[in-house]
């Protein structure tokens, strides 16, 4: 754990360093005497910013040389044909001295006059006032240059995504996250063939995922979680062959899982939690050999848990299959998933025994099998209960018991709310009054992290699980973080 925090810290220091480097390049202090800023460009900059921060802001007075001696926080410039142009504009309280938006921010039409704008972002800008994004025709002004567009945490922004976004053909990153935007997802976003990251999470989008998204063959990250999307997964989803992360959790998607999902051989994260998918697990899932996190919980998928060759998913670190109506026995193959940290099987209809071999998994730090129909004796060693503590949940299995001989001197070494064998009359032994009323940890064990996928994992301590394979997992997390940073 400590090592991981250190790695992430190092990574943050590195990325801050890179950020600094980039800003001062753009600022180019001292060079502005030799190279002037295009006059129309300068006026556009002042006017665009004044729209967001308010009429009190006098750019020509405060920042007479915005690409030179008096750089503006959040603005970067570059030289084109011997003159300075704005290449990046970031509005919102990112840094201490960032440009903050007024209570009634406006999109100035000059925002769309920049000749070489590559990156545009609004963070926490449209908060109180209801606003829509500027209409279609405006955005076409940026279609020749814009590479990254980010609209983050603007609860006041409503209305739809302008369909001209589908003509910003230079985009490789489109991030529209946690705003109040609604309407359907424009089909022509599927024309943005150069996209590497598409995030539309946490808005109020409705309707289907366009089948045209199959054209996004360079996409690495697709996150449309926490909207109200409906309809089935488009069959074309299997064409997004480069995908590393696919998150469609917390929507109202339904229908069968398409077998083409199995074509996504590079996928490391598949999160479909809390939808209405049905029709059983599909064997092609085990072809996704790169999977590290698979979360399908809270879908009425049903069917037998054993239809996949689970041992083929060797990279799995998180497997969340709770609340899916799954039947059958817990597959022995799970005990070959050597990197697994979180195994959530709660609230299904699983029967049979709890395989004692699960105890041998070197990285396992949370196991939830509560709310099933498991039976017989739990055959884990007492050391296992010590190691897992509350992160082992086996309650609400009426026919499951533990051998009373395993009870430690203080009653500490026992699975919580499981009865000792031979005490058939007692339905449930509640030793700890603090847990008797609650839902229990397992009920939402894997989901407490909301939007962040790594939160559930970071939540576990890695005590007793410090093998080489477990630390390897953190290397993967770091690599993924590095990949994400190149997308910034
Ligand atoms: C900005 O300040 C300059 C110099 O003080 C002044 O001439 C100009 O009228 C001001 N512009 C606005 C829009 O207030
Ligand atoms: C912008 O807002 C942030 C947070 O509200 C604040 O810390 C910062 O000082 C503000 N910046 C300016 C230039 O007013
Ligand atoms: C989007 O939300 C706004 C404001 O709540 C509403 O007026 C509009 O009808 C909604 N549009 C769609 C397509 O749902
Ligand atoms: C499940 O998804 C719906 C949206 O479809 C959302 O309203 C709800 O809060 C989600 N539930 C949880 C527990 O996240
Ligand atoms: C639970 O398992 C028992 C066998 O242990 C079986 O008789 C019973 O039908 C199962 N109940 C359900 C709801 O599947
Ligand atoms: C039992 O409780 C005592 C005192 O609270 C503690 O010192 C001891 O470690 C406990 N034993 C076990 C096995 O938990």
Phi, psi of 76 (to 5 degrees): -120, 155
3 state SS of 175 = strand
Helix axes 468-487, 2-27, angle to 10 degrees: 20
Q: Name the band, by pLDDT with cuts 50, 70 and 90, for residue 35.
A: confident
Q: What is the pLDDT of residues 388-422, one digit of tens each?
A: 988 999 999 999 998 876 565 655 567 888 888 87
Inform me whether the pLDDT recorded for 50 exceeds 70: yes
Q: Which two tokens stand for residue 287?
A: 């072809």
Kindly state whether residue 465 falls inside one of the protein's structural domains: yes
Judged on CB neighbours under 10 Å (0-12, 13-18, 19+), 483 is: middle
Kindly state whether residue 8 falls inside one of the protein's structural domains: no
Kindly state whether residue 214 falls inside one of the protein's structural domains: no
Note the pLDDT of residue 479.
53
CATH number at residue 282: 3.80.10.10
**DSSP-derived pairing of the beta strands 75-80 and 83-91:** antiparallel
Q: What is the pLDDT of residues 186-202, one digit of tens each?
A: 999 999 999 999 999 99
Atom of ligand 5 nearest to the CA of 373: 1
Kindly state whether residue 231 falls inside one of the protein's structural domains: no
Ligand 3: residue of 126, 183, 184, 230 to mutate (most ligand atoms within 8 A of CB) is: 183
Mean pLDDT computed over 48-74:
93
Rounded to two decimals, what is the model's pTM? Answer: 0.82
Kindly state whether residue 338 falls inside one of the protein's structural domains: yes
Kindly state whether residue 289 falls inside one of the protein's structural domains: yes
CA–centroid distance, 17 to ligand 2, in Å, is 22
Note the pLDDT of residue 378.
93
Kindly state whether residue 56 falls inside one of the protein's structural domains: no
Q: How many structural domains compose the chain?
A: 1
Q: Between residues 425 and 166, which one has the greater pLDDT?
A: 166
Domain around 297: 263-403+439-488
Kindly state whether residue 3 falls inside one of the protein's structural domains: no
Atom of ligand 5 nearest to the CA of 399: 5
């Amino acid at each position: 754990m400590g090592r991981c925090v250190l790695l992430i810290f190092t990574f943050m220091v590195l990325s801050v360093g890179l950020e600094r480097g980039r800003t001062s390049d753009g600022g180019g202090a001292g060079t502005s005497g030799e190279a002037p800023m295009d006059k129309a460009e300068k006026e556009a900059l002042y006017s665009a910013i004044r729209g967001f921060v308010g009429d009190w802001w006098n750019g020509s007075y405060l920042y007479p040389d915005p690409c030179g001696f008096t750089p503006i926080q959040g603005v970067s410039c570059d030289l084109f044909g011997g003159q300075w142009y704005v290449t990046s504009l970031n509005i919102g309280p990112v840094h201490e001295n960032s440009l903050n938006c007024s209570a009634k921010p406006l999109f100035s039409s000059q925002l769309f006059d920049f000749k070489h704008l590559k990156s545009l972002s609004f963070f926490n800008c449209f908060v109180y006032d209801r606003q829509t994004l500027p209409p279609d025709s405006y955005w076409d002004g940026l279609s020749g240059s814009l590479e990254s567009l980010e609209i983050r945490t603007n609860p006041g922004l409503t209305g739809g995504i302008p369909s001209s976004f589908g003509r910003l053909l230079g985009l490789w990153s489109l991030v529209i996250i946690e705003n109040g935007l609604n309407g359907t997802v424009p089909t022509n976003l599927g024309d943005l063939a150069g996209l590497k990251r598409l995030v539309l999470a946490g808005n109020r989008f409705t309707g289907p995922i366009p089948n045209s998204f199959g054209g996004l063959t360079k996409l690495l990250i697709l996150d449309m979680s926490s909207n109200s999307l409906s309809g089935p997964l488009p069959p074309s989803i299997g064409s997004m062959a480069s995908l590393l992360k696919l998150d469609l959790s917390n929507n109202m998607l339904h229908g069968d899982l398409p077998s083409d999902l199995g074509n996504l051989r590079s996928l490391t994260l598949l999160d479909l939690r809390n939808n209405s998918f049905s029709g059983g697990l599909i064997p092609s899932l085990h072809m996704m050999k790169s999977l590290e996190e698979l979360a399908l919980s809270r879908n009425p998928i049903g069917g037998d848990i054993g239809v996949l060759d689970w041992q083929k998913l060797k990279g799995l670190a998180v497997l969340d299959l709770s609340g899916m109506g799954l039947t059958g026995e817990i597959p022995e193959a799970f005990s070959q998933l050597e990197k697994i940290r979180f195994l959530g099987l709660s609230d299904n209809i699983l029967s049979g025994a709890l395989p004692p071999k699960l105890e041998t998994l070197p990285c396992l730090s949370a196991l939830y099998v509560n709310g099933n129909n498991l039976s017989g004796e739990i055959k884990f060693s007492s050391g296992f209960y010590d190691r897992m503590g509350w992160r082992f949940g086996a309650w609400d299995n009426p026919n499951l018991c533990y051998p009373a001989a395993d009870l430690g001197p203080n009653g500490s070494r026992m699975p919580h709310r499981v009865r000792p064998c031979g005490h058939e009359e007692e339905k449930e032994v509640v030793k700890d009054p603090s847990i008797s009323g609650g839902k229990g940890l397992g009920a939402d064990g894997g989901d407490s992290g909301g939007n962040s996928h790594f939160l559930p994992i970071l939540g576990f301590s890695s005590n007793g699980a410090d093998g080489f394979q477990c630390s390897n997992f953190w290397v993967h997390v770091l690599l993924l973080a590095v990949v994400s940073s190149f997308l910034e």
